[in-house]
Structure 1
Amino acid sequence: MRLRPTVLAATYLILSNIQYAYASALTTAIGANVRMCFYAEVDKPKEKIGFYFAVQSGGSFDIDFDVKDPRDVVILEGKQERQGDYILTANHVGEYAFCFENDMSTITEKLIDFDIMVESEPRKETPGKPTQLSEHTSALEESIFKLSGMLTSIERSQKYFHTRENRGFSTVKSTHNRIFWYSFFECVGIVGMACAQVYILQTFFNRTGRKYKV
């Protein structure tokens, strides 16, 4: 089956006007008392910045964060947050800083999964007359935006289950370590008590200057 030129032109028009984005999805470990920053460049004002993060493991699964614009002004911050999903409007052109801070922890390292996405909306010339494309464009736009929404929903669900899986694994690992050390110190205590009892009994029956007749 061959598509008509008008349908192809309408498809090209919609795809050319759909938002494009460049993103950086990373997973990084942040040590105790460490502040770590990541940067995203914005080329045009009013662009959208998507910022997602989730603490995968470490401590109570929380972290401090803040977002600064190119003027070094804090536009978003949070304390002891486990995860977040934000959409920001970049009012200024330049470099935006996304920082995580693990000051509340003295020995525990935190594993952070985060995603920074910068979106823009380029406009291209229409490859045909609007009257020829109007009836095809509306149906294609609706279908494409529905698919985009479904993909976004699936992506968010995957991130949610990924975070739950990592947190569950971290909890199981921490519980296993606690049980191991509890059992170890319990065995050490039992052996220590047995040795202490033997020593006390030997000292009691072998006191200097005393003799016992049977």
Structure 2
Amino acid sequence: MAPHERACFYVQAQAPQEKLAFYFAVQSGGNFDIDYEVTNPAGGVVLDGQKERQGDFVFAARSAGEHAFCFSNTMSSFAEKMLDFDVTAEHETQADHPSRQNPLPNAAKQREQAAQSLSTIDEMASRIATGLTNFHRSLRHYHTRLHRNMDTVRSTESRVFWFAVMEVAFITGVVGAQIMAIQTLFNTSGKARV
């Protein structure tokens, strides 16, 4: 994001109580901070923050409609910032399996066993999905830290380089001044020293 820029992104919540997940992280620029604001379809503020480095939020939409996720770099007068963000709408409605509908009287026992095995598989799939989501969030966190640390390393490397250049220039200047002082002492006549 350029200095003084404000950008908004929109996600449609299809039903009330639908979960919306919002993640952002400042990867580089300035002090790694950004202002953000999340508003609901009525224009009310759901989440907001100033000078935040990163955030990971999940909230239930109170009403169906378009939610705005806005970032603002207006506090920065010259620093461009690079953001990593993700906004998702998680639909929690699950379709009924045919085996969960009213079973036929002659195959009721088989349908019940099939429904139990399907519910067990659904639970396992749900656990795996939750684990993958947590793993993905951890990876995003580590990815953000990697970018910030690499930016810090580049900054430190640049400062060390320029400090070394200034140090060499200072030492060269001191050596030159000492040489001139010694030459001045030895080039003067003996009468001037007495």
| Coarse TM-score class (shorter-chain normalised) | 0.7 to 0.9
Distance 1:38 1:197, change over 3 A: farther
Distance, in Å, in 2 between the alignment partners of 1:137 and 1:186 is: 72
Q: Secondary structure at the match of 1:84?
A: strand
- Report the Cα offset of residue 188 of structure 1: 4.8
1:135 paired to 2:102? no
Q: Secondary structure at the match of 2:20?
A: strand
1:166 paired to 2:166? no
Distance, in Å, in 1 between the alignment partners of 2:10 and 2:43 is: 12
Distance, in Å, in 2 between the alignment partners of 1:149 and 1:135 is: 21
Distance, in Å, in 2 between the alignment partners of 1:192 and 1:134 is: 86
Distance 1:180 1:43, change over 3 A: same
- Report the Cα offset of residue 196 of structure 1: 7.8
Equivalent residue, structure 2, for 1:6: none
Identical pairs, percent: 40
TM-score w.r.t. length of structure 1: 0.70
Amino acid at match of 2:64: V
Distance 1:135 1:170, change over 3 A: same
Q: Secondary structure at the match of 1:171?
A: helix
Distance, in Å, in 2 between the alignment partners of 1:94 and 1:172 is: 44
1:49 paired to 2:20? yes
1:117 paired to 2:98? no
Distance 1:107 1:180, change over 3 A: farther
Q: Secondary structure at the match of 1:70?
A: coil
Q: Secondary structure at the match of 2:83?
A: strand
1:149 paired to 2:149? no
Distance 1:213 1:149, change over 3 A: closer
Distance, in Å, in 2 between the alignment partners of 1:199 and 1:101 is: 58
State how 1:182-193 maps to structure 2 within 5 Å. Answer: 182-189=163-170
Distance, in Å, in 1 between the alignment partners of 2:54 and 2:96 is: 41
- Report the Cα offset of residue 100 of structure 1: 1.2
- Report the Cα offset of residue 123 of structure 1: 4.6
RMSD of aligned alpha carbons: 2.8
- Report the Cα offset of residue 213 of structure 1: 6.4
Distance 1:151 1:107, change over 3 A: same
- Report the Cα offset of residue 31 of structure 1: 2.1
Distance, in Å, in 1 between the alignment partners of 2:12 and 2:181 is: 74
- Report the Cα offset of residue 158 of structure 1: 1.0
The runs of 5 or more residues in structure 2 that have no matched partner are none
Equivalent residue, structure 2, for 1:180: 161
- Report the Cα offset of residue 139 of structure 1: 1.4
Distance, in Å, in 2 between the alignment partners of 1:47 and 1:155 is: 21
Distance 1:213 1:162, change over 3 A: closer
- Report the Cα offset of residue 115 of structure 1: 0.4
Amino acid at match of 1:103: T
Equivalent residue, structure 1, for 2:11: 40
What are the Cα deviations for residues 106-125 of structure 1, in whole angstroms up to 9, with x where unaligned? 22222111100012134535
- Return 69-78 or 186-195, whichever deviates more: 186-195
1:63 paired to 2:63? no
TM-score w.r.t. length of structure 2: 0.76
Amino acid at match of 1:153: N
Greater helix fraction, Structure 1 or Structure 2? 2
Greater strand fraction, Structure 1 or Structure 2? 1
Corresponding pairs, count: 178
What are the Cα deviations for residues 95-151 of structure 1, in whole angstroms up to 9, with x where unaligned? 211111123332222211110001213453541346514321331122111111211
